[in-house]
Structure 1
């Protein structure tokens, strides 16, 4: 079973994402910010990370840069999950190491499609 780490400061978004991912047969873990997500990845690197952009403690971009520098940090696919829709934000995320992005709010079909694009669904 594939594993997904959902990183978002919104408990509601984490709950919705968990529900969708579990229907897609993912084992799901959650983190409320980038620092908690990094700690999780040090213990067990997931197959894919659904990552929020704006979070307290450590933002999605800060987390992504730290992840990609870590040993085995290049392995998980990273899908940014954000309300930021301008091209500059998307380009910055891809340049920092994101594999794909999905706009909030998202539904099952949209998320499934993005996971297929990155090769984990």
Structure 2
């Protein structure tokens, strides 16, 4: 079973993403802050992490870098989630280790498509 962590301060975004992704082949966890995400990943690193670009407690690129340091051998596929297209944020996230990005609000098809490149979608 694949694991995914949704890191977003919006409970609505977390709930929508969880409803889309959760199923018999994907276990989905939630974190409202970067620090909460780090704690979760220290215990068990998911295969996929969806990171909000504007977290209240840490820059998203810093979170992506920290996640890579937790378990370098089990580096997750990280997708940045943005409200609007921002080349600077996307490039900083990619340099930190993100594999791609998705814009909010997203549809079921858009979210699943962002994982198809990783061959991890449920």
TM over 0.5: yes
Structure 2 unpaired stretches of 5+: none
1:31-75 alpha-carbon deviations (Å, 9 max, x no partner): 001110000000001010011011112232221111122233752
Distance (whole Å) between structure 2 residues aligned to residue 12 and residue 35 of structure 1: 19
1:90 equivalent in structure 2: 90
* Structure 1 alignment gaps of length 5 or more: none
- The aligned counterpart of 1:71 is 71
Length-normalised TM-score, structure 2 = 0.91
Instruction: State the Cα distance separating 1:109 from its structure 2 match.
Output: 0.4
CA shift for structure 1 position 24: 7.9
The more displaced of 24-33 and 44-53 is 24-33
Figure out how many residues of one structure are paired with residues of the other and give that number.
Answer: 121
Alpha-carbon distance between aligned partners in 2 of 1:100 and 1:115, rounded to the nearest angstrom: 9
**Distance change in 2, residues 1:47/1:69 (3 Å):** same
> 1:37 — aligned with what?
37
CA shift for structure 1 position 23: 4.8
Q: Secondary structure at the match of 1:65?
A: helix
RMSD of the TM alignment (CA)? 1.6
TM-score (norm 1): 0.91
Q: SS where residue 79 of structure 1 aligns?
A: strand
Work out the CA distance in 1 between the residues paired with 2:36 and 2:73: 15
